[in-house]
Structure 1
Amino acid sequence: MGTARGSAWERALLILAVLLVIFVGAAVGTGTAWYWFNADRDEAVQANPPPAPAATLPAALPILEQDQDLVPRIYERVAPAVVGITVRSMGMRGFYFPVAEEKSGSGFIIDSEGHILTNFHVVDGAREIQVSLANGNIVPGKLLGFDHSNDLAVIKIDPSGEGTAIATLGSSDNLRVGELAIALGNPFGLERTVTVGVISAKGRVLPAETGRDIKDVIQTDAAINPGNSGGPLLNARGDVIGINTAIKSPTEGSIGIGFAVPVDTVKRFLPDLLAGKEVKHPWLGISGITVTPQLAQEWKLPVKEGVLVAQVIPDGPADKAGIRAAAGGGSTYSGMVNLSQGDIIAAVGGRAIKSMDALYNEIDKLKVGQQVTLDIFRDGRRTGIEVTLAAWPEQLGW
């Protein structure tokens, strides 16, 4: 009997042990299956990562919204100051038939008195000027002052009752390549169109119709097309940094190479423009070559820097002062050039000259009719010559 009870207990213990093994095995199996499922999922996540962590998006979105709002806010503030300019003039068909001509461009209001900045080529030859304002009104305009050589002009309207907006003149002195550039104007007559780009380059040189170079021109890829001339180029603050003036293109439209006269040039001559004056620029009347050490060695010149006079314009200031050119040794170009015969300009008014650009800049600081001393080297000797500067001719290129 005791043996029977023992056998019963042993059978019970055996059954309990089997059940325990089954239970533990099931638990271990379930745990192992859960682990590898998640491990496989983890591996799948690692193999196909999401584009960006979701946690970074909320921080980026407000900045994106702010950037997208920048140009609209600038447009809403400045566009009401932008005007359309229509010019009517008389031209000639052939030699005998006068014909009416019409052209259009842009401009922008700069003060509460109704002064508008634009390009000179927009209003050149105008017999009648019509200005279309942002409020839809069309009013007559009058050419006040102009600077042909810098392609600048100011026209005047009567602002009475118009409630015109005003564009703020900024500075072009500290522009950086890559900065935002916003162009406003009326391309192809499409009023107050905005285009956006960057400052592509600084310090470009743009030849004017007079042959005098416009210096420090701003290059931008903001689209500029016919009709944009005279409109403002703006920075990210909405300040005017230039006047859209020209494009370089094999077609009549923009390919992303546009040019604007810098606003610092505008501000320099603005008092004369507002006073109704024609701005005149001083003229020396030469063409020259920058002297380099290599050039000096090759031609056995007495100095290694300065400006060698290549040509003297007949009856110009330099010619009247007796400046001698390398081209033929006189004021006319003979085609036979001997650089060693030409005078070398070393200084203007006591300020050293090392390049043609430096000579241009020094002369441009002076006034028409002003007398200045040029330090020159002639036949190996340094001497001074007094020159009275004249006004830059309308069509002469030197």
Structure 2
Amino acid sequence: MPSEHPSAYSGSSGKSSLIQKWLILILTILIVFMAFKLLKRYYGQPDFRVRERADLTQTELRTIELFKESSPSVVHIRTVGLASPMDQFSMNPQTPSQGSGSGFIWDRKGHVVTNFHVIQKADEYSVTLADNTTWNAKLVGIAPSKDLAVLKIDAPRDQLKPIKIGYSGDLQVGQTVLAIGNPFGLDQTLTTGIISGLGREIISVTGRSIRNVIQTDAAINPGNSGGPLLDSSGRLIGVNTAIYSSSHVYAGIGYAVPVDLISRFVPQLIRFGFIQTPSLNFLGVDDFVIRKLKINQILPKDVSGVMVQSIMEGGAADLAGLKEIRIDDSGNLHLGDLIMQLDEIPITDANSLLDALEMHKVGDEVELVVLRNNKKIKLKARLQEWKNDQ
């Protein structure tokens, strides 16, 4: 019987396997080569060189132009807070608090507008202009209920470029807006977006409502406060004031105080240091008392307004014939007049009355609709300065 040679058998099998591998490799190369030829035919020679940047779009060019025009009007405000007294145990002085925010140049006299909360806890202020010069500033006026403040620097007129003032009464949701400021201390930062809402309401540090606030999705972060919100023409339409966020960082909703309010009050802050709000010169009942009177059916449930608690002698309310809360000789309690309307504006609470008064000036005559003994009557009143000495 012939002997078997396993080694010869294995060698023949290995040679066949090697030939198959070579055939597969050659076939793969051919397929890749043919694919490359087809791609080259349809798409041309691949170009791996770095291409030059394409021309900027008209929108980009316009945004760049607006930033160059408007940024010289925007300033960086730094504050130093009141130093705390020495710790009575360690006898170590506390480090003064420091803050940072934004603002904008109002006029060539050096007035700078910002938010009240930017300078609220400070006693020293400095303003850095777009040319990187820094100037000590003094506080000129504040309106905490509107979150507005005015500083003043003694910079040369040719270094001051006042911002262009716009109008906020005809704004529309969807308009393009630009915000310039110093978020997190980063100078001259631009963000863009749209007006995403109108007629919003935020609460000032005094608890007063600020109405007709602009809502925007332009990124606003800590440090943007006090900076301008601009329209697509580079005109001021609002002051960036607050964000809606649980983390205190931008979450897509920012708020700006409208420019119409700023244009009305900033001149008063420059002239008087405060808002000269016309007054009827009376003290009103707290709003929650009115709600209690309705619950107890002492007042009709369908009425709202501000009730006169006490009247200042010789004041506008006194001269107009308004009646205050009083007790007659028999010990009976008589409610004061409930002011329900001022001119054509419904009065629902103390805030709405103050808002209505702020639309007028001292000396204006207004018509009041009041509820007295469950009957509506009309009275005329001439507004006065607030008699804060009473």
Structure-2-length-normalised TM-score:
0.67
Q: 2:340 aligns with which of 326, 332, 346?
A: 346
Tell me whether 1:159 sits opposite 2:155 in the alignment: yes
The answer to whether the 8 Å contact 1:88/1:128 transfers is: yes
The answer to whether the 8 Å contact 1:347/1:375 transfers is: yes
| Equivalent runs, 1:380-395 vs 2, <5 Å | 380-383=374-377, 391=386
Q: How far did 1:137 drift?
A: 1.2
Write the distance in 1 (CA, Å) between the matches of 2:57 and 2:367.
60
Q: Which amino acid aligns with 2:181?
A: G
Tell me whether 1:248 sits opposite 2:244 in the alignment: yes
RMSD, aligned α-carbons: 4.1
Q: Aligned with 1:307: secondary structure?
A: coil
The answer to whether the 8 Å contact 2:102/2:226 transfers is: yes
The answer to whether the 8 Å contact 1:371/1:389 transfers is: no
Q: 1:222 aligns with which of 205, 218, 242?
A: 218
Q: Deviations over 1:27-47 (max 9, x none)?
A: xxxxxxxxxxxxxxxxxxxxx
Write the distance in 1 (CA, Å) between the matches of 2:385 and 2:157.
44
Q: 1:183 aligns with which of 179, 183, 194?
A: 179
Q: Aligned with 1:233: secondary structure?
A: strand
Tell me whether 1:261 sits opposite 2:254 in the alignment: no
Q: 2:65 aligns with which of 59, 65, 73?
A: 73
Report the equivalent of 1:337: none
Q: Deviations over 1:273-315 (max 9, x none)?
A: 23252224356645559x9xxxx9x9697696x5244896999
Tell me whether 1:362 sits opposite 2:356 in the alignment: yes
Aligned pairs, number: 313
Q: How far did 1:231 drift?
A: 0.4
Report the equivalent of 1:377: 371
The answer to whether the 8 Å contact 1:118/1:243 transfers is: yes
Write the distance in 2 (CA, Å) between the matches of 1:178 and 1:219.
11
The answer to whether the 8 Å contact 1:154/1:274 transfers is: yes
Report the equivalent of 2:188: 192
Query: Structure 1 323/365 Cα, relative in aligned 2: closer, same or farther at 3 Å?
Result: farther
Q: 2:229 aligns with which of 222, 229, 233?
A: 233
Q: 1:307 aligns with which of 304, 307, 310?
A: 304
Write the distance in 1 (CA, Å) between the matches of 2:96 and 2:273.
27
Write the distance in 2 (CA, Å) between the matches of 1:311 and 1:211.
21
The answer to which of 197-206 and 104-113 deviates more is 104-113
Q: Which amino acid aligns with 1:163?
A: Q
Q: Aligned with 2:63: secondary structure?
A: helix
The answer to whether the 8 Å contact 1:313/1:319 transfers is: no
Q: Which amino acid aligns with 1:353?
A: P
Q: Which amino acid aligns with 1:143?
A: L
Report the equivalent of 2:23: none
CA radius of gyration, larger in: 1
Report the equivalent of 1:25: none
The answer to whether the 8 Å contact 1:93/1:99 transfers is: no
The answer to whether the 8 Å contact 2:200/2:212 transfers is: yes
Q: Aligned with 1:169: secondary structure?
A: coil
Q: Deviations over 1:159-200 (max 9, x none)?
A: 227633332111111100011111100001000101111111
The answer to whether the 8 Å contact 2:109/2:157 transfers is: no
Query: Structure 1 388/281 Cα, relative in aligned 2: closer, same or farther at 3 Å?
Result: closer
Q: Deviations over 1:38-65 (max 9, x none)?
A: xxxxxxxxxxxxxxxxxxxxxxx99x81
Query: Structure 1 373/161 Cα, relative in aligned 2: closer, same or farther at 3 Å?
Result: closer
Query: Structure 1 324/274 Cα, relative in aligned 2: closer, same or farther at 3 Å?
Result: same
Q: 2:205 aligns with which of 199, 202, 209?
A: 209
The answer to whether the 8 Å contact 2:106/2:112 transfers is: yes
Tell me whether 1:168 sits opposite 2:141 in the alignment: no
Q: How far did 1:390 drift?
A: 7.3
The answer to whether the 8 Å contact 1:90/1:98 transfers is: no
Write the distance in 1 (CA, Å) between the matches of 2:185 and 2:256.
19
Write the distance in 2 (CA, Å) between the matches of 1:246 and 1:352.
28
Unaligned runs of 5+ in 1: 1-60, 330-340, 394-398
Q: How far did 1:216 drift?
A: 1.0
Report the equivalent of 2:79: 87
Q: How far did 1:213 drift?
A: 1.2
The answer to whether the 8 Å contact 1:172/1:263 transfers is: yes
Write the distance in 2 (CA, Å) between the matches of 1:230 and 1:90.
21
Report the equivalent of 2:277: 281
The answer to which of 175-184 and 90-99 deviates more is 90-99
The answer to whether the 8 Å contact 1:145/1:276 transfers is: yes
The answer to whether the 8 Å contact 1:285/1:319 transfers is: no
Write the distance in 2 (CA, Å) between the matches of 1:313 and 1:186.
47
Report the equivalent of 1:272: 268
Q: Which amino acid aligns with 2:68?
A: E
